[in-house]
Amino acid sequence: MKILILGGTGIISTSMAELTDGHEVLLFNRSGAVPQNAGENIRAIACDRKDPQQLARLAREEGPYDSVIDMFCFLPGEAYEAVKAFEGITNQYIFCSTCDVYTKTTGRFPITEDFPKEPSEQFPYAYNKARCEELLMKAHDNCRLNVTIIRPAATYSNVSVLPLVSTVDAGTFLLDRLLKGKPFISHNDGLSVWSECHALDVSRCFINACVNKASYGQAYHTTGEEWMTWDEVIRTVCAVIGAPKPDIVHIPSGFINSFDEEYGSWCLQNFRYNNIFDNEKARRDLDFRYTITWEQGFCEYYENLIKKGQPLEAWDSHPKYDRLIDAWRQA
């Protein structure tokens, strides 16, 4: 089977490299780089995904393909160009979407793939992914491409996990804060429900979707199955790294956003809502399995960090973080 992956250096697509033995795999990415542990079956070509002429030319020169996996499509215009580029030269186009496409005011859980998808325009990432889905499924319905949509949620790996430790800022300084018992921010009351999923569990579904006719015209969740509050996410990290009981400071999402939109926009548009998704459809068609718990996955990441011998950023190296805490306490 010949698989083209648009991307290939991100959290999920890097993990795919471990699951593609026996297949011919080609990567299109800006650097022309292959994952560090890639096998001989994987090669890469430098391609600017945002240049439609270059994408179309290279796609046809290197094609045809059994499946194309697009990890780097974020705007409706990019989805439109993908249809033009791959129509007639692939059996299947697999689009990496997101579980953020759902309307956030739902009051029923778990969320299934047929839930309303009208994300706020104030959340451009989700809004544009939803519009991409609409355009691609129209192309599928018009028999231009066999389209499969996969919707991961929060995904991490043994080399990239820190954005999922806190909803405010990212960096190893967060771990230093916890180790030293410094105040640590959790949005609202810390009780919104979240789930994390290891990239190996997610990427398996992308590979299993390839030339899988049951997946044509379908959308799937590939999300974590431990539903934790954000405070529990933080407490689990403390247990793994041997930190004291965390000094959690609860700050409303609206206040965080008014203090700094870079800090607060995702809290306001996403993190403050419960994220509980049903994976049954992916379990049935794509052999989805949740095999790595959050504690196991974070432990693997932390051990890898220690092996590299890189010191943690100092807890006070991001002064804006403490200015936010001070502003809230004064308020």
Structure confidence by residue, pLDDT tens digits, 189-239: 999 999 999 999 999 999 999 999 999 999 999 999 999 999 999 999 999
Note whether 96 and 73 are within 8 A (CB).
Answer: yes
Q: How many domains does the chain have?
A: 2
Give the model's pLDDT for residue 2: 96
The mean pLDDT value of the chain amounts to 95
Kindly give the residue spans of alpha helices, DSSP state H, lying in the chain: 11-16, 52-62, 76-86, 124-141, 173-179, 199-209, 230-241, 253-259, 261-266, 280-286, 294-308, 319-330
Note whether 99 and 151 are within 8 A (CB).
Answer: yes
Shared-domain flag, residues 181 and 129: no
pLDDT more than 70, % of the chain: 99
Is 282 within a domain? no
Is 35 within a domain? yes
- Two structure tokens written together for 163: 């954005």
Is 263 within a domain? yes
Find where tokens 């010191």 sit.
Answer: 311
Is 23 within a domain? yes
287-300 burial string, b = 16+ CB within 10 Å, else e? ebebebebeebbbb
CATH number (domain holding residue 47): 3.40.50.720
Note whether 157 and 128 are within 8 A (CB).
Answer: no
Shared-domain flag, residues 188 and 200: no
Upper half-sphere CA count for residue 146 (Cβ side, 13 Å)? 16
Shared-domain flag, residues 178 and 299: yes
Give the model's pLDDT for residue 36: 75
Length of the chain: 331
109-136 burial string, b = 16+ CB within 10 Å, else e? ebbebebebebeeebebbbbbbbbbebb
Is 239 within a domain? yes
pLDDT band at 8 (very low <50, low <70, confident <90, very high): confident
Please state the separation of Cα 192 from the chain's center in Å.
Answer: 19
Note whether 216 and 148 are within 8 A (CB).
Answer: yes
Give the model's pLDDT for residue 105: 75
Note whether 324 and 253 are within 8 A (CB).
Answer: no
Shared-domain flag, residues 71 and 204: yes
Give the model's pLDDT for residue 310: 84
Q: Which range marks the domain in which residue 305 is found?
A: 161-194+228-273+294-330
Is 298 within a domain? yes
CA dihedral 57, 63, 65, 70 (to 10 degrees): -20
Shared-domain flag, residues 320 and 215: no
Shared-domain flag, residues 108 and 187: no
Shared-domain flag, residues 135 and 73: yes
Is 307 within a domain? yes
Shared-domain flag, residues 6 and 143: yes
Find where tokens 């026996």 sit.
Answer: 22
Tell me how far CA of residue 37 lies from CA of 16, 113, 149, in angstroms.
11, 34, 27
Upper half-sphere CA count for residue 237 (Cβ side, 13 Å)? 27
3-state secondary structure of 246: coil
Give the model's pLDDT for residue 159: 84
Q: Is the pLDDT assigned to residue 107 strictly greater than 80?
A: no
Region at 201 (left for phi over 0; alpha for psi -120 to 50; beta for the rest): alpha
Give the residue from 56, 103, 45 showing the smallest Cα distance to 78.
Answer: 56
Averaged pLDDT for residues 19-26:
90
Shared-domain flag, residues 21 and 62: yes
Shared-domain flag, residues 149 and 170: no
Note whether 224 and 292 are within 8 A (CB).
Answer: no
Q: Is the pLDDT assigned to residue 258 strictly greater than 90?
A: yes
Note whether 65 and 5 are within 8 A (CB).
Answer: no
Note whether 95 and 120 are within 8 A (CB).
Answer: no
3-state secondary structure of 44: strand
pLDDT band at 22 (very low <50, low <70, confident <90, very high): confident
Per-residue pLDDT tens over the stretch 266-316 = 999 999 999 999 999 999 999 999 999 999 999 999 999 999 898 999 999
Is 279 within a domain? no
Cα separation, 324 vs 184, whole angstroms: 11
- Packed helices 76-86 and 124-141: angle between N→C axes, nearest 10 degrees: 30
Shared-domain flag, residues 237 and 118: no
Per-residue pLDDT tens over the stretch 36-78 = 777 788 999 999 999 999 999 999 999 999 999 999 999 999 9
Find where tokens 């804006």 sit.
Answer: 320
Give the model's pLDDT for residue 108: 87
Shared-domain flag, residues 258 and 113: no
